[in-house]
Structure 1
Amino acid sequence: MRMAARASSLALVFCLAYPVAAQEAPAPTGDAPPAIPVPTNGAERYAPTDFARFAPRTALDMVEKVPGFLIVTGTNGGDRGLGQATENVLINGERIASKTTDARTALSRITASQVAYIDIVDGASLNVPGLTGQVANVVLVAGSDATGGGFKTTIRWQPEWRPRLDDNWLNGEISTTGKLGGTNLTLSLKNEANRNGHWGPERVYDGNGALLFTRDEFGAYNGDRPRLSAALSRTTANGNKWNFNTGAQIQYLTEGVDSVSTRPANGLVTENFRFKEDERNFDIGGDYEMGLGKGRLKLIGLYRFEHSPVVDTFVVDREIGGRTGDRFSQTADESESILRGEYSWRTAGGTDWQVAVEGAYNTLDVDAELAVLQPDGEFLPVVFGGEKTKVEEKRAEASLTWGRSLASNLTAQLNLAAEYSELTSSGPGGLTRSFIRPKGKLAFAWKVGPKTTINWHIQRRIDQLNFYDFASSVDVANGQGNQGNGQLVPPVVNRTELEFVQDLGRWGNASVQFAYAYAQDLVDQIPLSPTTEGRGNLPPANLYRISSKATLLLDPIGFKGARINSDLTWRRNRVRDPLTGLWRDQSGGQDYVVDLSFRHDIPGSNFAWGAGYFDERYAPNLRLDAIEKEYTVGPFVTAYIEHKNVAGFTVKLSYRNLAGMKDGFDRTVFVDRRDGPIAFSESRQRKFGQYFQLTVTGTL
């Protein structure tokens, strides 16, 4: 009843807003953009007028509507160092060189009135190492950055109301951008809040498949991640540029799973799992770019620190057999320091060059404790062999990038690099080792015809290790543990990708990609001794991928303002099992993803409506004594209605999980190793019901 009442109230907002906004929303005010120049280097250019029917509030709204283009997210925050560009979005021709702000976040803080035009270009044609395939270059209005001398504020608020769970009122962001004495200033407060959960039965079977008992389970997962950040930038009179950014964040995460069962030997049994993380982190960074000789020199510096205390507790109360429990606590301090220099220039013949040098110092310091519940209700620490671990890495990288047009319709980019890393670990099996690894990338973009482009690249990539794999840990809920492994080496991936991009004219845009990789030293679960296991390196593996992205515009068939977007991926990651020696799928590797969406902007009105369909599958996670498979039952289906001018804001109401998707988990546990007899198995399917989500965006 509570959700129904809210849905009726929200629907009333749309109805009341319609009479006063039955025409297209007015364009945001600001400095008038200059005449759109004719694109060069084969770019496909989109002007603000191309997005007028969507009434965009931010640059993100515009980029998301480019036919056939999908933003590749990620801040490179999962990898230490800055390295090459990892996202397919540029702003004024420059990468977003930040570890804390991804492309979607950066674009959401730029108002639509600040965008002069958007170019979709081939990555190989740019002097930005790491970029291949389609890249969006968002070019802003020159001069006052379209602020008109004042500040512009963007707002996004996205509450959710789910059955049986706490309401989520706190998810959103507010940011303001303007000028102070010629310096651009952006202030932002963002909270990625979640209130998730699910419930349902879990059935437990013996080794012969006979049902032992059924648990009735309920899980709730809440998180608040408020982050306050500031960014300053300025271009001086002589053309030099500088940027400064800083931010601080609190992450408060809690999880709870409660279950009740009746068992023949124990009577009524209740199980309670609790997780809590109270993280604090901050970062400070900046860059300075100036003219030097015939080129430009950019110097970049960054420091990041994170303090993460985590506590897992699992307690079982048996009507017959009493109470038992375990607690695993871990406090981790991470830091990262980076210095990077890039010197770029273009020769008279049109060749782009860049020389880059980067140094980084990274640390992880872990204090852990395993404790067992005593009859008096206190937890008594016990020795588990992984109480303290410290990891240090000194890393240096040097690269040379060359790029130029080989013909009027063919561009190439070559990047040659080498990486030096010294790793020191004080945990189990800890030692000091050093690595020198060559890497690089060769990419071509061939404009076969006015509407057809072929992109191809071959790459040797050095992936980075998860420092937590050096430390021992205990999963108290499932009675499992991982021993730290000081022998880990960084994975090497040798990959190639071929992409075909077709402009379908008034029908839209489509692309298909084929990729293969020969991977060495991938990290997976391996035996570390006759009785222990942990993360370790695998023999060489083969990775395959086929993916496609497309936008189909339905105007040619008379369905004005309608479009269908698709993002499809199929993967097959084949690795040698460290236990059996046989080929199998990589643990937890993605099998496929199907992401389809439909949108209709009703002509002559401010209304739009649409729907989405999402389904994906992952391979099971394999431990040496267990097979664990997470999956979903049914697709995730969404329907929504949107109004583009409710008191100057865009308001979107979504009804989510229409098909009743459930979260599934199956686990088979073996007596010893998984090539032997089965001890028991369990299977659960938890539903989370249909729910409403409201999205309000706008600018002030």
Structure 2
Amino acid sequence: MKNAAALAALLAMTGVAHAQSPPGPEAPGPGGGGESPAVPTSPQEAGAPTAVDGRVTYQPDFFAQYTPQTALDMVRRVPGFSIDSGSDRRGFSGTAGNVLIDGARPSAKSQGLQDILGRIPAKQVVRLELIRGAASGEAAGQSVLVNVVRTASAGSGRYEAEAEISDSQRISPRGELSYNGRIGQMEFTLGADRYMEQRPLGGIRMLRDGQDNLVGARSDWTPRTYREANVNGAISTPLFGGTFNFNVSGGRENFKTALESQGFTVAPVSSVVSPAGPTVVAVPADSFRLSIDDRNRERELSADWERRFGDLTFKLVALDTREWGGNDESTRVRDNAGATAAVVSQRTRYESSESIARVSASWAVAPSHRIEFGGEGALNTLDAALSLTEDLGAGPSPIALPAANVTVEEERFEGFLTYNWKVSPRWTVESGVTVETSTISQSGDTTASRTLTYWKPNVQVSRQIGTRDQARVRLFRDVSQLDFGDFVSSATLADNTVAAGNPDLRPQATWRLEGVFDKRFGENGAVALTVAREWIEDASDLVPILDPRPGAPIPIYFDAPGNIGEGEVFSIRLTGTIPLGAVLKGGQVKVDLNWSDAEVTDPVTHRTRQISGFADTEANIEFRQDITAMKLAWGFEFYKRAEVQFFRVGELETYEEGPLMFGFVESTAIRGVKMRAFVENMLDSEFKRERRFYSPDRNGAVFRDEERERQFGRVFGVEVSGNF
């Protein structure tokens, strides 16, 4: 289940806690060169962070002012750190986020890190460790990690109840419940949650011809409802001299909407033209109603076993995920007299699976040298079917699409080796390589098979500056995850568009060179500047595909996900946590600012442009003030990104949203209970979309333009949570 706002009810990996840091190269290695070792920072007061060898340790007292209830509350307050799920990468380790629990990553792949952390009571956290420049096989692809170190708990639970109301005037209740317990040496977790969201979405579309004359308009009303429910459980117990963890989770979700759209034609009522333009009148024209019912179910089983044999740590992981889903859409078009002119219906069904087996070993060769190696095998499948019909009054007739009924299968194997060397107290070198091979086969409406091989090297050099600051340079190759849904055709009835399945799709591969300077100041101040350059192979974008079916009456080009060759990206990112104690007691600002410039060659116009869906600027600013004497906190979050564009064969689509603003007030005046009130979309921002159509393609002239503005209004809510 992948609703970012909704996904609660996922559990923490409740491995037997050792209250220790993960093993790593801590002692100085050869080649010190006369440099002084990094000395731990002396805390000026209880709870102040300490820093040794790039590892900043935060004790629970540091977070006391925030009155945390869960490990998630604590991780969110780590200066200069943001949670990254890492879910868009290939392989099991590649999907690891940047949070470890007791030195290891959770073996459950589909469960979000925030949900896992939300299941760990704050009183169970011994300390948090911010590890910079020390990525391991447990979290490949991450150079900054937070390790949550826990102690065993006799038993505790957590509850959360929430309700929100939007401009739809409907109340959406939500709730979750979890319990962590212990029976002898076995720890267990049980959890369940229910989520609901109801949003109105009204708007208007303005239609113009190629000469920018207003020729029509549409009034849209799109109420939508989303529901989700999940259950989960986990156990952790000693087994065969090691630790065995088992997780099970399942859930279902449903999304429904009904778009009512009324069209209008526009005509002048006077030949007199004012400076503001001609006076026009809107005459009701056609209308249509679109209904969507989208649903799916998912379950996941995962297990891991880990044991230490002297200097060697051995780990086995197994995972199996299954998902079943479907979508029913129907559009009924009426003429200006209200009579039904056409009915178009779409029905999709799919079943997907992923099975992974992984073995890894970590060997402490010497105090300053560590090697990790292992292998992984995976089987991914998708079985999808699409039917599309049109009824013009004589009964439904099928509309044939290429790659509408397809089975896709991928067999993937990889081996990896990493080597970490602590050259001196201030210098660390981390290197590694992964070799991956996969065979992708497709059957059904289209038949294809190919084998792909990638090697993914990685090297990072870290330099400790003083006791708290650090500089890092890293070069690595990354390969993106394939979305099997891109192999199957689909239709978007609301837009009257078709996306063809592409049997020749390849994963995007990227070389990335980045430099980072990480500066710490005061007790909770942090700033990090990242400058990066990327060289892309097989850039993922939209491509034109000729209808591959034999006997097609005329050449037809479809838009499809595909690869458009090489590309480059240059980016600068500034993140930080800035304490405001000098001017506002208890105040703090967190910033995440991104600027980037991406270039690819357009397959239609052959000119240089951005990557589809790529925003060149993005800003996220969070403010929070904790008034400890009143056990009160308040704050807001501001988010804005630049417009994004999608480049289709004969259409340029542009989206712009926001700025978006979220505000909250919370109180912990009642011991053990947190009460929170919030408002979303405080600025009542609009979502804008423009579709510009060209003939015969984007090399030609504009013949139609559609501008749409939509609003879902403000959302108000209250939340009560606590532990028991």
Using the size of structure 1 for normalisation, the TM-score is 0.89
Tell me if structure 2 keeps the 8 A contact 1:590–1:619: yes
Q: Does 1:67 align with 2:79?
A: yes
**CA gap 1:125/1:622 in 2 versus in 1, 3 angstroms:** closer
Q: Which moved more, 1:450-459 or 1:259-268?
A: 259-268
1:181 alignment partner AA: G
Q: Distance in 2 between matches of 1:225 and 1:81?
A: 27
Q: Distance in 1 between matches of 2:247 and 2:467?
A: 41
Aligned equivalent of 2:574: 548
Aligned equivalent of 2:201: 198
Q: Distance in 1 between matches of 2:661 and 2:238?
A: 47
**CA gap 1:478/1:616 in 2 versus in 1, 3 angstroms:** same
Aligned equivalent of 1:652: 676
Q: Does 1:54 align with 2:66?
A: yes
Tell me if structure 1 keeps the 8 A contact 2:475–2:512: yes
**CA gap 1:572/1:195 in 2 versus in 1, 3 angstroms:** farther
**1:589 equivalent among 599, 608, 614:** 614
Q: Does 1:299 align with 2:316?
A: yes
Aligned equivalent of 2:257: 255
Q: Does 1:630 align with 2:640?
A: no
Q: Which moved more, 1:578-587 or 1:39-48?
A: 39-48
Aligned equivalent of 1:135: 145
**1:606 equivalent among 620, 631, 638:** 631
Q: Does 1:169 align with 2:173?
A: yes
Q: Which moved more, 1:489-498 or 1:505-514?
A: 505-514
Tell me if structure 1 keeps the 8 A contact 2:89–2:95: no
**CA gap 1:184/1:655 in 2 versus in 1, 3 angstroms:** same
Q: Distance in 1 between matches of 2:54 and 2:365?
A: 21
1:173 alignment partner AA: E
Aligned equivalent of 1:355: 373
Tell me if structure 2 keeps the 8 A contact 1:389–1:425: yes
Q: Give, in angstroms, the shift of residue 462 of structure 1.
A: 1.6
1:259-278 correspondence to structure 2 within 5 Å? 259-263=261-265, 267-278=284-295
**CA gap 1:365/1:103 in 2 versus in 1, 3 angstroms:** same
Aligned equivalent of 1:20: none
Q: Distance in 2 between matches of 1:443 and 1:242?
A: 32
Q: Does 1:495 align with 2:512?
A: yes
**Tell me, which stretches of 5 or more residues in structure 1 are unaligned?**
1-30
Deviation track 1:364-412 (CA, whole Å, cap 9, x = no partner) reads 1111101112426x54333233331111111000000111211101112
Q: Distance in 1 between matches of 2:435 and 2:135?
A: 23
Aligned equivalent of 1:372: 390
Q: Does 1:338 align with 2:363?
A: no
Q: Distance in 1 between matches of 2:66 and 2:524?
A: 18
Tell me if structure 2 keeps the 8 A contact 1:507–1:556: no
Aligned equivalent of 1:92: 102
Q: Distance in 1 between matches of 2:632 and 2:601?
A: 53
State how many pairs are aligned. 656
Q: Distance in 2 between matches of 1:345 and 1:418?
A: 20
Q: Give, in angstroms, the shift of residue 135 of structure 1.
A: 1.3
**CA gap 1:693/1:379 in 2 versus in 1, 3 angstroms:** farther
1:69 alignment partner AA: F
**CA gap 1:112/1:507 in 2 versus in 1, 3 angstroms:** closer
Q: Give, in angstroms, the shift of residue 523 of structure 1.
A: 1.8
Q: Give, in angstroms, the shift of residue 429 of structure 1.
A: 4.8
**Tell me, which stretches of 5 or more residues in structure 2 are unaligned?**
1-16, 21-45, 268-282, 547-554
**2:225 equivalent among 222, 225, 228:** 222
**1:179 equivalent among 182, 207, 212:** 182
Q: Does 1:671 align with 2:695?
A: yes
Q: Distance in 2 between matches of 1:540 and 1:128?
A: 31
Q: Indicate the SS of the match to 1:71.
A: coil
Aligned equivalent of 1:468: 485
Identity %: 26
Q: Distance in 2 between matches of 1:113 and 1:272?
A: 53
Q: Distance in 2 between matches of 1:444 and 1:210?
A: 59
Q: Indicate the SS of the match to 1:426.
A: strand
**CA gap 1:682/1:362 in 2 versus in 1, 3 angstroms:** same
Aligned equivalent of 2:55: 43
Tell me if structure 1 keeps the 8 A contact 2:355–2:378: yes
Q: Give, in angstroms, the shift of residue 252 of structure 1.
A: 1.0
Q: Distance in 1 between matches of 2:199 and 2:421?
A: 50
Q: Give, in angstroms, the shift of residue 361 of structure 1.
A: 0.8
**CA gap 1:314/1:679 in 2 versus in 1, 3 angstroms:** farther
Aligned equivalent of 1:158: 162
2:628 alignment partner AA: P
Q: Indicate the SS of the match to 1:469.
A: helix
Q: Distance in 1 between matches of 2:501 and 2:80?
A: 44
Tell me if structure 2 keeps the 8 A contact 1:121–1:134: yes
**CA gap 1:186/1:400 in 2 versus in 1, 3 angstroms:** same
| Structure 1 residue runs of 4 or more that deviate by more than 6 Å after TM superposition | 33-39
**CA gap 1:209/1:414 in 2 versus in 1, 3 angstroms:** same
Q: Distance in 2 between matches of 1:127 and 1:312?
A: 44
**CA gap 1:448/1:650 in 2 versus in 1, 3 angstroms:** same
Q: Give, in angstroms, the shift of residue 528 of structure 1.
A: 1.7
Q: Indicate the SS of the match to 1:208.
A: coil
**CA gap 1:445/1:429 in 2 versus in 1, 3 angstroms:** same
1:48 alignment partner AA: P
